[in-house]
A and B are shown apart, each in its own frame.
Chain A
Amino acid sequence: MSGTFVGMPAFPKAAQEAVGNPTLRANLRHATHTIRAKRAAAVAEVSDWAALREAGKQIKDHTLRHLDRYLVQLEESVTAAGGTVHWAADADEANRIVTRLVKETGESEVVKVKSMATQEIGLNEALEAEGIRAYETDLAELIVQLGKDRPSHILVPAIHRNRGEIRDIFAAEMSEWGRPAPEGLTDTPAELAEAARLHLREKFLRARVGVSGANFMVAETGTLVVVESEGNGRMCLTLPETLISVVGIEKIVPTWRDLEVFLQTLPRSSTAERMNPYTSTWTGTTDGDGPRTFHLVLLDNGRTDTLADEVGRQALRCIRCSACLNVCPVYERAGGHAYGSVYPGPIGAILSPQLRGTGSEIDASLPYASSLCGACYEVCPVAIDIPEVLVHLRERVVQGGPVTLEGNRTVLKPAKGHAAERAAMRAARWAFARPGALRAGQRLASRTRRLHPRTLPGPGRAWSGSRDLPPVPAEPFRDWWQRTNGGDAGEGRAK
């Protein structure tokens, strides 16, 4: 499997592979159902969940509405605390900045805390091209990196792997990267975690440059927050001499106090815990404790384009908890890889086509990767109405319309490949605006009903490949209503 998402096919095709893979289906089902039940229990513990959710939504909305001010304030706060702030308009610029900063230290390797932003920009590949090796230190990221695989979940990038597969990857690949896996490694999770501990410890202890993202940045104080479980985050944030954090501009909250909301909602939504094992906060640099040099790279990379869309901008409220993935019936069957992005699942289906535009096959297909069941909206701790944005993006695909790309307002044309559907929708609208036409169609269907097959050829197989068609009744309801005056019950009352 290739390590990148470039040239992904459309979602339905990409999903086929997962749907037909029983091991993957079982892994995903087990994992998502496990965490789903735990999350529900963790959320049920707090009686004010709805109020926390609403406050989180409002804090994020307020921040986004004043993002320019808060960005400037954050920059001042971080600078005053001894950090250096860099601005990156896109992935290339962010990668260039980080590469330069690493080179200035004279080092040729970095340790990384799991970070969605650095995955989004392909930082590891960019560093590799410049001769710098980036070691992922989160257990799941390590599994993905060693397996030359792609992440398939926001919280648990190796969710598609079961313990047996992980054992095999560790046994085969660890020696390539450093300390080999212990002899006779079994597939018990505790032993696998121990193998990762030993493998990574030598890297942590010698690392001089750490790279991270952040869950939150506090504008008022210049504080960054990383929420994690394993302690790899603490290692990367404290032991190196230089720390470089790459963070999306939407990760700001205005005040220190605002963390009281998110430090309650994020752990419960994410790992389904009252609190995750480790949360680190740091404000610039501290004498004698932790990195002596701190760089913050503020990343746009499509976020301002997303901000420009009044329906779609709510996606920027996302705190990357992944609760929506764990309840999504489509994610559970299609797997994370089918989404062709580091952001899979429902949130990915609205985030990727906004950050990257709807120009590619995969991005134009993502808004349709949902049955609009609404489970994602229900669990979202910042109340992102994902179905609403999905429908909005479908509209963008089929109808086109105003959109902002790389900061420029433009008007999109309707996407190709929807001509037949568009014609059908127009015809249906025409008929539905005329009850007589609808009725003529219904009668035709009823009169020819004995000729209808239970399965369909050609494109109709999309339905009847797996489902029988319902029989068409002898007469539509409206004919019965008129013929019988609404039946015995409604006699004499029909118009």
Chain B
Amino acid sequence: MRVALFLTCVNDTLYPDTGRAVVKLLTRLGVEVDFPMAQTCCGQAHYNTGYRHEAEPLARHFSDVFGEYEAIVTPSGSCGAMVRELYPRMGERARAEGRGDTLAATLAPVVPKTYELTEFLVDVLGVTEVGAYYPHTVTYHPTCHGLRGLGLGDRPRRLLQAVKGLELRELPGADECCGFGGTFALKNSDVSAAMGADKVRNAESTGAEVLCAADNSCLMHIGGTMTRLRTGMRPVHIAEILASTEAEPAL
């Protein structure tokens, strides 16, 4: 099976390790991975900040770049939700504004074949045991757009539970938002920081070494709060845990 990796602009720029982990993991599972070099950004930040019209060319670009692939896999719950939930809505809005069906028709092909990584593993590849080894205590934070937008459910936890050496600790208040929220983190920084601090304290209370999530944007906020609060915990993307093996263990 040949899939396109939609890494996302944030991961491409700031978290290349996550991208390398996804490639390593999928390849190990027999998937042929391509990284279309023309990919940029899904337009989520624009859309969610109120610039839907600025997001439209980015969505069209996404569709041009990824339209031909069998499946599109992304290690980001929120960018996955952008394509799956909000691209159709952008098409509807354009129609309501009297701009016809063109946008909806352009975006339609990529919507059903875009998968968040854990969803792709469990639903498409049908695996929960991916041959990973990660000898650390981990607590899992389900990010909002993965949890409530895509409905990832217990898929990430099932994958983590099957990882050799990994001890999973329950995160109190797991389903509460970490406070990132894109531009929310800047526009309402006091509230965002308070939410982040509470999330980090809950994570600390588990005694785990690692807080794991399926979205680096949230991890950037949580991790930045962790170092500021000098907790000694570290944020790790789930792809890096699942890619880790006894031969090549991740940190």
List A residues at the B interface (Cβ < 8 Å). 11-12, 15-16, 19-20, 25, 310-311, 329-330, 333-334, 367-375, 377-378, 388, 391, 393-399, 421-422, 425-426, 428-429, 431-435, 438, 442, 445, 461-470, 472-473, 475-478, 480-482, 486-487, 489-490, 493-495
**Whose C-beta in chain B lies nearest to the C-beta of A374?**
B148
Contacts of B39 in A (CB 8 A): 435
Q: A374-B149, A466-B196 are known contacts. Are A480 and B16 too (CB-CB below 8 A)?
A: yes
Number of residues of chain B lying within 8 A (CB) of chain A? 76
Contact B23–A377 (Cβ < 8 Å): no
11 extra interface residue pairs, beta carbon distance < 8 Å, beyond A371-B177, A372-B48, A391-B47: A311-B93, A329-B177, A368-B183, A371-B180, A372-B181, A373-B144, A432-B40, A461-B189, A467-B185, A477-B11, A477-B20
Q: List 13 A-B contacts (CB under 8 A).
A: A11-B188, A12-B189, A333-B194, A371-B144, A375-B177, A429-B43, A429-B54, A432-B43, A464-B224, A466-B225, A467-B228, A468-B223, A490-B33
**Cβ distance A369 to chain B, nearest Cβ, rounded Å:** 6
Q: Which of B17, B23, B93, B197 has the most C-beta atoms of chain A within 10 angstroms of its own C-beta?
A: B23
Contact A391–B20 (Cβ < 8 Å): no
Contacts of A482 in B (CB 8 A): 37
A294 CA / B46 CA spacing, docked (Å): 52
Contact A374–B54 (Cβ < 8 Å): no
A370 CA / B184 CA spacing, docked (Å): 7
Contact B27–A12 (Cβ < 8 Å): no
Contact B51–A399 (Cβ < 8 Å): yes
Contacts of A374 in B (CB 8 A): 144-145, 148-149
Q: Which chain B residues in 46-68 approach chain A with CB under 8 Å?
A: 46-55, 57-58, 61
B41 within 8 A of A: yes
**Whose C-beta in chain A lies nearest to the C-beta of B225?**
A467
A480 CA / B17 CA spacing, docked (Å): 10
Contact A399–B9 (Cβ < 8 Å): no
**Whose C-beta in chain A lies nearest to the C-beta of B188?**
A12
Contact A421–B49 (Cβ < 8 Å): yes
Q: A468-B224, A477-B7 are known contacts. Are A489 and B23 too (CB-CB below 8 A)?
A: yes
Closest 6 CB pairs of A and B: A371-B181, A394-B50, A467-B224, A466-B193, A373-B177, A489-B27
Contact A370–B181 (Cβ < 8 Å): yes
A39 CA / B52 CA spacing, docked (Å): 35
**Cβ distance A464 to chain B, nearest Cβ, rounded Å:** 8
A235 CA / B181 CA spacing, docked (Å): 46
C-beta contact mask, B1-32 vs A, less than 8 Å → 1, else 0?
A: 00000010101111111011001100110001
Contact B51–A425 (Cβ < 8 Å): yes
Contact A478–B35 (Cβ < 8 Å): yes
**Whose C-beta in chain A lies nearest to the C-beta of B93?**
A311
Q: Which chain B residues in 156-199 approach chain A with CB under 8 Å?
A: 175-177, 179-197
Contact A378–B190 (Cβ < 8 Å): no
Cβ contact of B191, chosen from A15, A461, A490, cutoff 8 A: A15
Contact B15–A473 (Cβ < 8 Å): yes
A56 CA / B41 CA spacing, docked (Å): 38
B124 within 8 A of A: no
Contacts of A464 in B (CB 8 A): 224
**Cβ distance A488 to chain B, nearest Cβ, rounded Å:** 9
List B residues at the A interface (Cβ < 8 Å). 7, 9, 11-17, 19-20, 23-24, 27-28, 32-41, 43, 45-55, 57-58, 61, 89, 93, 96, 144-145, 148-149, 175-177, 179-197, 220-221, 223-225, 227-228
A486 CA / B37 CA spacing, docked (Å): 11
**Cβ distance B46 to chain A, nearest Cβ, rounded Å:** 6
A355 CA / B102 CA spacing, docked (Å): 34
A486 CA / B46 CA spacing, docked (Å): 30
**Cβ distance B34 to chain A, nearest Cβ, rounded Å:** 6
Contact A477–B16 (Cβ < 8 Å): yes
Cβ contact of A486, chosen from B23, B148, B183, B193, cutoff 8 A: B23
Contacts of B179 in A (CB 8 A): 329, 371
Contact B193–A467 (Cβ < 8 Å): yes
Contact B191–A330 (Cβ < 8 Å): yes
Q: A425-B51, A467-B225 are known contacts. Are A477 and B188 too (CB-CB below 8 A)?
A: no
A426 CA / B187 CA spacing, docked (Å): 18
Contacts of A388 in B (CB 8 A): 89
A434 CA / B223 CA spacing, docked (Å): 30
Contacts of A473 in B (CB 8 A): 14-17
Contact B188–A465 (Cβ < 8 Å): no
**Cβ distance B48 to chain A, nearest Cβ, rounded Å:** 6
**Cβ distance B14 to chain A, nearest Cβ, rounded Å:** 5
Contact B34–A435 (Cβ < 8 Å): no
Contacts of B24 in A (CB 8 A): 487, 489
Q: Which of B57, B144, B188 has the most C-beta atoms of chain A within 10 angstroms of its own C-beta?
A: B188
Q: Which of A16, A399, A426, A462 has the most C-beta atoms of chain B within 10 angstroms of its own C-beta?
A: A462
Contact A470–B14 (Cβ < 8 Å): yes
A368 CA / B47 CA spacing, docked (Å): 13
Q: A371-B195, A473-B14 are known contacts. Are A433 and B224 too (CB-CB below 8 A)?
A: no
A480 CA / B196 CA spacing, docked (Å): 32
Contacts of B96 in A (CB 8 A): 310
A373 CA / B176 CA spacing, docked (Å): 8
**Cβ distance B176 to chain A, nearest Cβ, rounded Å:** 5
Contacts of B224 in A (CB 8 A): 463-464, 467-470
A70 CA / B200 CA spacing, docked (Å): 51
Cβ contact of B188, chosen from A369, A431, A486, cutoff 8 A: A369
**Cβ distance B212 to chain A, nearest Cβ, rounded Å:** 16
**Whose C-beta in chain A lies nearest to the C-beta of B8?**
A477
Contact A15–B27 (Cβ < 8 Å): no
Contact B12–A478 (Cβ < 8 Å): yes
Contacts of A461 in B (CB 8 A): 189
Q: Which of A391, A467, A473 has the most C-beta atoms of chain B within 10 angstroms of its own C-beta?
A: A467
Contact B58–A429 (Cβ < 8 Å): yes
**Cβ distance A116 to chain B, nearest Cβ, rounded Å:** 24
A429 CA / B51 CA spacing, docked (Å): 10
Contact A329–B176 (Cβ < 8 Å): yes
